[in-house]
Structure 1
Amino acid sequence: MSTGLPLWLKLLDQTSKIVTTLTAAVLLYTRSAGVAYFVTGAVLCAALGKLIKNAIRQERPLQHSGRKVTYGMPSSHASTCTFFATYITMACLQLPVHPALPSSAMFAPVIVLPWTFMIVISRVRLGHHTWPQVAAGTTLGACCASFWFKLWMDDTAGVKTTAWEVEGMVRSWLGQ
């Protein structure tokens, strides 16, 4: 990371750490099966992105950072953060706020959507990806989130019912 970068780009270059920490905090705080399901979907989307990336093997923009060479198509950051933004927005529009969270949590898209936009832009500005690579990542993330959310809403294969049963068992085990 170059020291000549604007502060906002330096911060956005640390997105993985920030998002992982915030996600873990929400999961641990709510102990929600729905949040665990969401996190599982995000991890699966990231894994699918890595598989596609290794199949396509398109190089990143030329970098002289000395970092290990990895492929750039699709952008993993773009796919994962777009998964987050899409899923969170759909959840806020169609699901009740989890009881452990304040009612203001329904306004999460007001923060998540612009943050995602900034992350996607930063991947190109930082020289990590090209525009087509972040466009592919964004498309992958939106498609994965839409599919994953539909599975939850339709209770496909009893996924939602099972998750709620597991959440109830965990809560009783924890004495809540």
Structure 2
Amino acid sequence: QTNFVVTGLSAAFLLYTRSAGVLYFTLGALLCSATVKLIKRAIRQPRPVVEHAAGKRKVSYGMPSTHSATIIYYATYIPLACAKLPIHPSLPANSFVTRVLPVLIAVPYGYVIAASRVWLGHHTWKQVVVGGSYGAALAAVWFELWIRGGHAYGQVLEREANGYIDQIFGRA
């Protein structure tokens, strides 16, 4: 399942970097998913009628696509972060590894996953486009909030959290 892979990679990256920026990014992805689910319940547009394995039909609403919104959030935020944010000290200074490679992975992966929602019969193109548009817009706004002041709070949070972790594990 894509959501387990993406969530697992996000959690691993957060634990590796201990970065407030990565935490903020991840919270944005969770916000994206949660708000799309609320919108989906308000719109109540059904999914396409497709019989899946064993004749089971998925019974839930389809507009907008939560998977598409969240994965396009990633595919939008990651290039913005790679282009505009300083490289976190826990990451390699190699600009290809930190600035280019994440974009080369996230963008095509995001769009293929979004399109697969239609190919697999889970959503219509309209549901995927609306979901993806929502995810892209939220990512742009969320990123803008970070660069317009959120990062200052993040630096304090990160410094305090890392100090606390270092105390626990005896690193000084």
Matches within 5 A, 1:160-175: 160-175=151-166
Number of aligned residue pairs: give it.
160
Q: Is residue 2:104 matched to residue 1:110?
A: yes
**TM-score between the two structures when normalised by the length of structure 1:** 0.87
Q: Shift of residue 68 of structure 1?
A: 4.9
Q: Which runs of 5+ in 2 are unaligned?
A: none
SS of the aligned residue for 1:61 comes to coil
Indicate the residue corresponding to 1:42 in structure 2: 29
SS of the aligned residue for 1:20 comes to helix
User: 2: CA distance between counterparts of 1:165 and 1:150?
Assistant: 19
User: 1: CA distance between counterparts of 2:32 and 2:165?
Assistant: 31
Q: Is residue 2:106 matched to residue 1:120?
A: no
User: 1: CA distance between counterparts of 2:108 and 2:51?
Assistant: 30
Indicate the residue corresponding to 1:20 in structure 2: 7
User: 2: CA distance between counterparts of 1:57 and 1:43?
Assistant: 21
Equivalent residues of 2:49, 2:57 under 8 A apart: no
Q: In structure 2, what residue type is equivalent to 1:148?
A: W
SS of the aligned residue for 1:151 comes to helix
Equivalent residues of 2:47, 2:124 under 8 A apart: yes
Indicate the residue corresponding to 1:73 in structure 2: 63
**TM-score between the two structures when normalised by the length of structure 2:** 0.89
User: Greater CA deviation, 17-26 or 61-70?
Assistant: 61-70
Equivalent residues of 2:91, 2:98 under 8 A apart: yes
Indicate the residue corresponding to 1:139 in structure 2: 133
SS of the aligned residue for 2:123 comes to coil
User: Greater CA deviation, 64-73 or 107-116?
Assistant: 64-73
Q: Which runs of 4+ in 1 moved over 2 A?
A: 63-68
Q: Is residue 2:77 matched to residue 1:84?
A: no
User: 1: CA distance between counterparts of 2:117 and 2:159?
Assistant: 40
Q: Shift of residue 67 of structure 1?
A: 5.3
Indicate the residue corresponding to 1:11 in structure 2: none
Q: In structure 1, what residue type is equivalent to 2:70?
A: T
Q: Shift of residue 63 of structure 1?
A: 2.9
User: 1: CA distance between counterparts of 2:157 and 2:84?
Assistant: 22
Indicate the residue corresponding to 1:97 in structure 2: 87
Q: Is residue 2:138 matched to residue 1:148?
A: no
